Structure 1
Amino acid sequence: MFSLNGVSYSFQKTVLDNISLEISGGQFTGIVGPNGSGKTTLLRLLSGFYRAPQGHVLLNGQNLASLRPRVRARQIAVVTQINILNPQFTVREMLSLGRAPYHRWFWQRQTAAEKALLEKITADLRLAELLPRRIKTLSGGEMQRTVIARALAQDTLVLLLDEPVNHLDIHHQLEILSYLKNLTAQGRTIIAVLHDLRLARRFCDSLLVLNNGQVITGLPEEHLRSGLLARVFELPENSEFLA
């Protein structure tokens, strides 16, 4: 699926230093690490939003830097931490935006298949009652469910999410992560930045642990047994946050 070959990225300091790794398709991969370790940077490189000044990021053998934005948007959907949304749009209009990569203009009539897809997403994320509401009236949790739904409306095989459950209560966190996990059974690839290590351990098939410019890949239980998570987050090995 994704291949990173000798990728480095810097701001004031080096955030990612000569990273080479493979991310398998059809899995839920979590990205974890301390604040400032480069989690969002890595996700933006995988999305094609950032271009690596050194090294290459490949998706199924294709260099992301060579793909036009519309082509990438048909393969990769992204949920960011900060969403700049038109406050006057309704939730229904926001979901329709997810079909933009397939349309020449915004108000192009949707096909029967597109309508069926949006209806399924609306039902799955329990958004039916929100459809007529304007973005400016939504709570933080309702907004997050809406932007996730918009990404799902792109109907891509890859879904990248930066802290997707950050604004949700525990019930909705579990609901959304369970839903995303189930998508991998359909062949989808989910890659998400997560802060809660307990949720990452519960839902992720593999973890990318970022620290000091490096990325260590492995199974959640391997990272736990090796003490890596405890060391990276400076926690005692019996910490409740690793349970």
Structure 2
Amino acid sequence: DKCRPNKCNFECGLICPVNRQKKECVRIIDIEDTTVKKKIASIVEDACIGCGLCAKPVGGCPFGAVSIVNVPTELSNDIINRYGRNGFRLYRMPVLKQGKVLGFIGQNGIGKTTIVQILTGKIKPNFEDFDNTYSTDSIINKFKGSEMHKYMTKLYNNELKISVKPQHVESLISFVKSKGFDYTVKEYLNLRSLNKSRLDKIIEDLELSSILESKIIFLSGGELQRLLCAITLASDADVYIFDEPTNYLDVRQRLNIAKLIRELIDNDKYIAVIEHDLSILDFISDYICILYGVPGAYGIVSHPLSTSNGINIYFDGYIPGENMRFRQSEYSITLNTSENTDIVYDTSKIQYNGGKIVYPNYELHIESGNIPREGSINIIMG
């Protein structure tokens, strides 16, 4: 989207050492973009030497559209999906096991959403083969001999009912507004095909009773999170996928969500959780897969690891079993044990008035007070 050949001087091609040797590495090609044709720079990867000159802000692409990344060559046979030529690559798929909870750990932008879309059938993997459209049978055969063969067979034979808790909770408000609906939480829950006996317990455990009469469009982030988790938990499904289920929640609520997810475990159920809170991930997961790579460029899924070992490996930045270092240095927490403290002076300068904010079924009362303008960290607790 950033590449604009009509607004530049083809800097990426002019600075390329391979192009300057009269060979073709960076070229301008025509692509179809929805209903119109446009031109875009394309890199011939077999010819690229990885110098990175075209990606530099000075002398290279003026729009920052180029990212040169050296992907480990030993993974060349493990590519699952690629978003167009020179687009994001996903290597390997996680292994889902019935009766176990799989945890994902990794930074944003390296393929977690793509994995969810493949696991739910919203995206059919192309295996970086843009010239062929794979049939469902061909996709299943690609996984033959792997632990995911059974899952993919069931998926493409429509034998799996899948329930997903989406990552972005505000999407529910956008959906309700786009349809012109004005549902309360109770009305929306009644419209969904949910296990009513299980739902009553979930409503109690997630403390949703107090907001049942509230309009969905007025819910906070934490309330939306608990509502969407409740819908997923109360669904009768074969596969449960929770994408960041504890965002916006306090510690107690996070533990409640984690316990309810563990209660879903059944010999016939597949459960996967994407979570950034490592303590919650440690509590929920039976095993984990680490996702690493370069955001926006490529993502690699590690082989399954035990939960405790996998979290330690993630901190270390090195996977011994694969001889793969995915981070230059380990994460470490250095405690400052110095007893020397500076005198804190009262520098209160910002005054604010009290007041009241009213929503349907909710009121926020604010007392007047002040906030130090300089040298302070202010924490909102509740």
TM-score (norm 2): 0.50
The 1:141–1:48 alpha-carbon spacing in structure 2 relative to 1, beyond 3 Å, is: same
**How far did residue 6 of structure 1 move?**
5.8
Q: Structure 2, unaligned stretches of length 5 or more?
A: 1-76, 128-138, 141-147, 294-298, 318-325, 335-382
Whether 2:198 is the aligned partner of 1:125: answer no
**How far did residue 116 of structure 1 move?**
2.8
**How far did residue 224 of structure 1 move?**
4.1
The secondary structure found in structure 2 opposite 1:62 is helix
Which residue is equivalent to 2:31? none
User: 1 CA distance for matches of 2:162 and 2:102?
Assistant: 15
Which residue is equivalent to 2:189? 95
Maintained 8 Å contact 1:89/1:135: yes
Whether 2:306 is the aligned partner of 1:219: answer yes
Which residue is equivalent to 2:125? 52
1:1-243 pair list within 5 angstroms:
8-11=80-83, 13-17=87-91, 19=92, 22-54=95-127, 55-56=139-140, 60=151, 62-67=153-158, 72=160, 75-82=161-168, 83-84=171-172, 85-86=175-176, 88-99=182-193, 114-184=195-265, 188-212=269-293, 213-216=299-302, 217-225=304-312, 227-231=313-317, 232=326, 236=330, 238-239=332-333
Name which of structure 1's ranges 133-142 and 173-182 shifts more when overlaid on structure 2. 173-182
Maintained 8 Å contact 1:9/1:16: yes
User: 2 CA distance for matches of 1:62 and 1:162?
Assistant: 23
The secondary structure found in structure 1 opposite 2:242 is strand
User: 2 CA distance for matches of 1:235 and 1:174?
Assistant: 31
The secondary structure found in structure 1 opposite 2:107 is coil
Which residue is equivalent to 2:22? none
Counterpart residue identity of residue 246, structure 2: V
CA deviation map 1:20-79 (0-9, x unaligned): 553211222111112211112112211222221234475646352443xxx75xx21001
Counterpart residue identity of residue 219, structure 1: S
Counterpart residue identity of residue 221, structure 1: S
The 1:117–1:180 alpha-carbon spacing in structure 2 relative to 1, beyond 3 Å, is: closer
User: 1 CA distance for matches of 2:277 and 2:205?
Assistant: 24
* Structure with greater proportional helix content: 1
Maintained 8 Å contact 1:151/1:159: yes
Counterpart residue identity of residue 277, structure 2: D
- The one of the two structures with greater contact order (alpha-carbon pairs below 8 A, sep at least 6) is 1
User: 1 CA distance for matches of 2:329 and 2:251?
Assistant: 23
How much identity, in percent, do the aligned residues show?
28
Maintained 8 Å contact 2:81/2:89: yes
User: 1 CA distance for matches of 2:278 and 2:327?
Assistant: 10
Maintained 8 Å contact 1:97/1:150: no
Q: Structure 1, unaligned stretches of length 5 or more?
A: 101-113
The secondary structure found in structure 2 opposite 1:209 is strand
Q: Greater CA radius of gyration, 1 or 2?
A: 2
CA deviation map 1:187-211 (0-9, x unaligned): 6432111112232223211111112
User: 2 CA distance for matches of 1:135 and 1:161?
Assistant: 20
User: 2 CA distance for matches of 1:115 and 1:35?
Assistant: 35
User: 1 CA distance for matches of 2:157 and 2:270?
Assistant: 21
User: 1 CA distance for matches of 2:123 and 2:291?
Assistant: 18
User: 1 CA distance for matches of 2:187 and 2:79?
Assistant: 38
The 1:30–1:234 alpha-carbon spacing in structure 2 relative to 1, beyond 3 Å, is: farther
Which residue is equivalent to 2:341? none
Maintained 8 Å contact 2:233/2:261: no
**How far did residue 235 of structure 1 move?**
5.4
Maintained 8 Å contact 2:165/2:232: yes
Which residue is equivalent to 1:109? none
Maintained 8 Å contact 1:9/1:53: yes
Counterpart residue identity of residue 226, structure 2: R
CA deviation map 1:68-122 (0-9, x unaligned): xxx75xx21001112333152111222234308xxxxxxxxxxxxx543432332
Counterpart residue identity of residue 62, structure 1: T
User: 2 CA distance for matches of 1:163 and 1:130?
Assistant: 22
TM-score (norm 1): 0.75
